[in-house]
Structure 1
Amino acid sequence: MRIDKYLWCVRYYKTRSMATTACKKGQVKINNTAAKPSREVFPQDIVELRKNQINYKLKVNDIPESRVGAKLVAIYITDNTPKEQFEAQELLKYAKDYYRKKGVGRPTKKDRRDIDEFTDDTFFDEL
């Protein structure tokens, strides 16, 4: 089975075209070699995949006939991704977490004063 179709079948990508694009960008490797979308995948292959700033490491157990349900994915693939990858993602999420919600718009005058007060160098000199 083609690698782009396989990644779509085991639900790592929502659409097959997204899986194809990831392969073309070089985000998918099979046995430590870059994989084109048409590359065949076989049982016991190791697939390395970069998605959402996480480097997944997957072992192919079996090839599905078609797209499988979420509960059946574990039959066809074993996820060997190190836990450090997910912990780094959590830290990154907290680093990006601002006090303003996304899409709220530009800061108000009060927000600007609060930001300036927080980033003011004299504030740290007083401590």
Structure 2
Amino acid sequence: MTGVRLDKWLWAARFFKTRTLSARACELNRVSVQDHAAKASRNISPGDVLRVRTDSAEFTVRVLGLSDQRGPASVAQQLYEETEESKAKRAEAAEQRRMMPVFEVLHEGKPSKKDRRRMDNVRERF
């Protein structure tokens, strides 16, 4: 196998849950190959550098292997190698998310008088 469609590879490498989602990400310019926006139908080969933005993170990976079939996660991880810079950025982003305050929503429906006072106090601070 010398090349495989980008959307199939992203699906097989488990960056996206379905091929439709991977094709949609390409359409929205969330995937680039060698720093150029890529269409879903583009063929990729080992050695290509991909930048993939998902809902949870941004990955920069080098393609090591090709597959157009989705398999276990352990096999999917052997298809690519993430750069050290990408790993560091994802770890930093995870740390920032962890440090953000958590707002718990316990009530459904109309807020009580006590809840409204709390919301007003929070709004006055900002």
User: Would you say same fold, with TM above 0.5?
Assistant: yes
Gaps of 5+ in 2: none
Single out whichever of 33-42 and 105-114 deviates more from structure 2: 105-114
**Percent of aligned positions with the same letter in both sequences?**
28
RMSD: 2.2
Of the candidates 87, 91, 100, which is equivalent to residue 105 of structure 2?
100
User: Which position in structure 2 is the counterpart of 1:8?
Assistant: 11
| Greater Rg by CA | 1
User: Which position in structure 1 is the counterpart of 2:114?
Assistant: 110
Structure 1 runs, 4 residues or longer, greater than 6 Å off: none
What is the TM-score normalised by the length of structure 1?
A: 0.81
- Give distance in 2, aligned partners of 1:96 and 1:33: 37
| Partner SS for 1:59 | strand
Of the candidates 67, 83, 93, which is equivalent to residue 88 of structure 1?
93
Q: Using CA pairs under 8 Å that are at least 6 residues apart, name the structure with larger relative contact order, 1 or 2.
A: 2
Of the candidates 14, 21, 26, which is equivalent to residue 23 of structure 1?
26
What is the TM-score normalised by the length of structure 2?
A: 0.82
Paired residues, number: 120
Gaps of 5+ in 1: 122-127
Deviations 1:41-82 (A, max 9, x none): 100100001112522101100102521211112221112223
2:42 matches 1:39: yes
